Amino acid sequence: MGVTLRQVKKSFGDVDVIHGVDLDVAEGEFCVFVGPSGCGKSTLLRMIAGLEQTSAGRIEINGRDVTDLDPAERGVAMVFQTYALYPHMTVAENMGFGLKMNGVPREEIAAKVAEAARILKLEQLLDRKPKALSGGQRQRVAIGRAIVRGPEVFLFDEPLSNLDAELRVEMRVEIARLHKEIGATMIYVTHDQVEAMTLADKIVVLRAGRIEQVGSPMDLYRDPDNRFVAGFIGSPS
């Protein structure tokens, strides 16, 4: 159960960017991908989401082979760094829009939006338009859009990197609380070591399309396999 990658590869044209990744993310685990810009974090996440085809290998979500399924069939929801909200819709409409498009009944949408708003403390803002929200509030709405879909797996691609430092800390705490409250499997891409160390049950250190090391924050901090991992996790050795 959870998310399983077996010998997952990706090439763009004749350039290999992911070189055969094997990974097990347990159900309910908070897994963080870290690594330098261009190492393949987003590509790997997008393959799990189904936004990018795998060139080879197999992806399973909760025991189901999803390798060739469309994004909508995978039971995942993704939150991006840039979160385009519909400017003419309210917060509630933005959060419920995907469900509405899928023909979910109005009362059911309202109940799911209310629940997401409670979790994200957006209850007072449901009738506002995006332009009347702060950056942090907008990012909460983007996360709310993912929550209302009730995914088995949440995928986050550097969701906080557009926020200022203070908001980043606040949202990091919110995301940790969200994970505690709903307990879903989460895979979270960041290049921020503090986010990785504080949020992760498991950290996956990537370098040039390969996994360098996988372990708990403490494992990687105390016992990095090499200088690259040590440099990334900020251990003194």
Interaction with Mg ion in 22-81: which residues (CB under 5 A)? 42
CB 95 within 8 Å of CB 117? yes
**Residue 32 near ligand ADP by CB under 6 A:** no
**Residue 53 near ligand ADP by CB under 6 A:** no
Give the integer Cα–Cα distance in Å for 150 and 102: 13
Distances 50 to 28, 53, 78, 111, 220 between C-alpha atoms, Å: 20, 6, 10, 28, 29
CA angle (168 as vertex; 194, 43 as ends), nearest 5: 70
Q: Which residue, 33 or 221, has its beta carbon nearer to Mg ion?
A: 33
Q: Tell me, what DSSP letter sits at residue 75?
A: T
By CB under 6 A, how many residues form the interface with ligand ADP?
10
**Residue 92 near ligand ADP by CB under 6 A:** no
Q: Which stretch binds ligand ADP (CB under 6 A): 24-32, 40-48, 105-113, 138-146?
A: 40-48
Give the integer Cα–Cα distance in Å for 53 and 77: 17
**Residue 38 near ligand ADP by CB under 6 A:** yes
CB 108 within 8 Å of CB 116? no
Q: Which residue, 42 or 185, has its beta carbon nearer to Mg ion?
A: 42
Q: Which stretch binds ligand ADP (CB under 6 A): 33-41, 68-76, 130-138, 159-167?
A: 33-41
Instruction: Pick from 12, 72, 177, 223 the residue near ligand ADP by CB under 6 A.
Output: 12
Instruction: Name 203's bridge partners.
Output: 32, 215
Site residues, ligand ADP (CB under 6 A): 12, 17, 35, 37-43
Site residues, Mg ion (CB under 5 A): 42
